[in-house]
């Protein structure tokens, strides 16, 4: 699971949860793989990303690699910043571990890079 | 036609054997690709701009590869682990999640620029467990999907409705969740090539695109022109036409009757004064 996906995921589908964001990551296996750099897409997706959540998630799995804590001004033209954002958003992959709902503490296992978000019948 | 959704729930039906077909059977792969391409076409995404899309019921990621080829980034959700394992094997670029669409889309508001779904929606119309209520599950799915799409985004679902009631059920729940849109039918006159696409829009009511291969001209027009051609071929001009009048006058002349001379006024309508 990429951190871009994690940045969008919530657990609000559960019955008792109102916001369910952000999910905490408890990673046991993290892999970094190379993905083609597409500056247009990164510049387009940054306004949608919750930057503080991304930064905390990257820090919690030790993949910060110099990512600034705030979005820099005029980031569309800052190649260096876009490359760092690209690395954290798309190249870092959580292979095994779990996601934890901030409200109920429900754990969603991540196996082989696929988060299992299936809910039991009493949770819907 | 057999309906897999009548045999078993999706997480059971799409086992290793069934999932394997999606990497080996070139006919299945071909059809999936074609439908995905048509679905992307119906999404009307801005040109030459990478978008962030959701693939609902992504399975082995065949539809995802079509999105990749067009330069988009995607996230997929599916309920079958066997199918998702195949997606990993194929090394698709998008992330895949194991979720049940009837439990809702677990994303933040306004995440995606669009959503596609190939041959998945009909599974939602079945109650596979005693706790499943299709209407509620459809509504939960559509309302959570509406929330996670950005405004002016579209969602296109290729699906196989069992009958018109099912189509109505699905459309009604989508409208209730706030979507505009309806069903586009490609090749409506063919049993085999006929395909249903549910096109849902979030921002305002825009006219639906036309289905492929639907007849443009009405049959009545071609029927009349055909009848006239046949009449001409028989050698008799249409009654009350100028040709018919000229022919009649000619015949009466041959019978040595008193006939007025032909002029440019022959066979013309009288003006309103008479």
pLDDT digits (tens, 9 = 90+) for B139-179: 999 999 999 999 889 999 999 998 999 999 999 999 999 99
| CA geometry: angle B142, B97, B141, nearest 5 deg | 10
pTM: 0.81
Neighbours of B146 (CB within 10 A): 18
In a domain, A122, yes or no: no
Q: Is the pLDDT of residue A43 over 50?
A: yes
Chain B: residue nearest A7 by CA? B108
- Chosen for mutation from A25, A37, A117, A119 (greatest number of chain B CBs closer than 10 Å) is A117
CA distance A109 to A111: 6
Query: Would you give the end-to-end CA distance of chain B in angstroms?
Result: 68
CATH number at residue A111: 2.20.25.10
Please tell me the distance in Å from A90's CA to the nearest CA on chain B.
Answer: 10
Q: Is the pLDDT of residue A122 over 70?
A: yes
Of B81, B85, B95, the CB nearest to A5: B95
Domain that holds residue A26: 3-117
Chain A: residue nearest B11 by CA? A118
Helix runs in chain B, H state only: 4-7, 10-13, 16-24, 26-43, 62-69, 81-89, 134-148, 164-176, 219-234, 242-254
What pLDDT does residue B218 have? Answer: 43
Which residues are B114's β-sheet partners?
B53, B154
The mean pLDDT value for B80-100 works out to 92
What pLDDT does residue B220 have? Answer: 46
The token duo for B185 is: 């039918």
What pLDDT does residue B126 have? Answer: 87
Tell whether A37 lies on the interface with B, counting CB pairs under 8 A: no
Q: What total of structural domains would you count in chain A?
A: 1
CA distance A52 to B241: 83
Residue B181: φ, ψ to 5°: 125, -160
The token duo for B106 is: 């677990």
Tell whether A45 lies on the interface with B, counting CB pairs under 8 A: yes
- Going by their DSSP bridges, the two strands B195-201 and B149-159 should be labelled as antiparallel
In a domain, A123, yes or no: no
In a domain, A59, yes or no: yes
Angle separating helix axes B26-43 and B16-24, nearest 10 degrees = 80
Residue located via tokens 């809910």: A119
Of A44, A48, A114, the CB nearest to B84: A114
Neighbours of B112 (CB within 10 A): 23
Interface pTM (ipTM) of the complex?
Answer: 0.93
- Chosen for mutation from B111, B127, B144 (greatest number of chain A CBs closer than 10 Å) is B111
């Amino acid at each position: 699971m990429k951190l871009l996906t994690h940045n969008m995921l919530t657990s609000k589908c559960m019955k008792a949860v109102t916001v369910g964001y952000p999910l905490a990551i408890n990673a046991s296996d993290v892999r970094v793989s190379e993905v083609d750099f597409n500056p247009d897409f990164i510049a387009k997706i940054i306004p949608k990303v919750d930057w503080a959540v991304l930064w905390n998630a990257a820090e919690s799995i030790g993949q910060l690699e110099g990512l600034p804590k705030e979005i820099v001004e005029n980031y569309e033209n800052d190649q260096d910043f876009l490359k760092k954002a690209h690395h954290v958003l798309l190249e870092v992959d959580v292979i095994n571990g779990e996601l934890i709902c901030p409200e109920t503490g429900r754990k969603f296992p991540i196996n082989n890079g696929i988060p299992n978000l299936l809910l039991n019948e009493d949770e819907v | 036609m057999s309906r897999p959704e009548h045999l078993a729930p999706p997480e059971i039906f799409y086992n290793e054997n069934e999932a394997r077909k999606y990497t080996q059977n070139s006919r299945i792969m071909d059809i999936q690709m074609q439908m995905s391409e048509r679905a992307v076409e119906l999404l009307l995404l801005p040109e030459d701009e990478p978008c962030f899309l959701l693939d609902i019921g992504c399975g082995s990621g065949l539809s995802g590869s079509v999105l990749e080829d067009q330069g988009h980034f995607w996230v997929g959700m599916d309920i079958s682990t066997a199918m998702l394992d195949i997606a990993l094997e194929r090394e698709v670029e998008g992330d895949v999640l194991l979720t049940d669409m009837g439990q809702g889309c677990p994303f933040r508001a306004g995440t995606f620029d669009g959503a596609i779904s190939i041959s998945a929606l009909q599974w939602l119309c079945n109650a596979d467990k005693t706790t499943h209520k299709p209407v509620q599950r459809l509504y939960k799915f559509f309302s959570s999907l509406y929330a996670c799409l950005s405004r002016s985004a579209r969602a296109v679902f290729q699906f196989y409705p069992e009958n018109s009631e099912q189509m109505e059920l699905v459309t009604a729940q989508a409208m209730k969740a706030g979507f505009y849109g309806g069903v586009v039918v490609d090749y409506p006159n063919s049993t085999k090539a006929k395909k249903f696409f549910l096109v849902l829009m979030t921002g305002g009511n825009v006219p639906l695109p036309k289905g492929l291969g639907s007849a443009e001209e009405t049959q009545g027009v071609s029927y009349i022109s055909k009848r006239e051609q046949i009449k001409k071929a028989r050698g008799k001009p249409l009654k009350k036409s100028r040709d018919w009048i000229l022919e009649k006058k000619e015949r009466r002349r041959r019978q040595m009757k008193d006939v007025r001379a032909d002029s440019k006024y022959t066979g013309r309508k009288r003006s309103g004064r008479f």
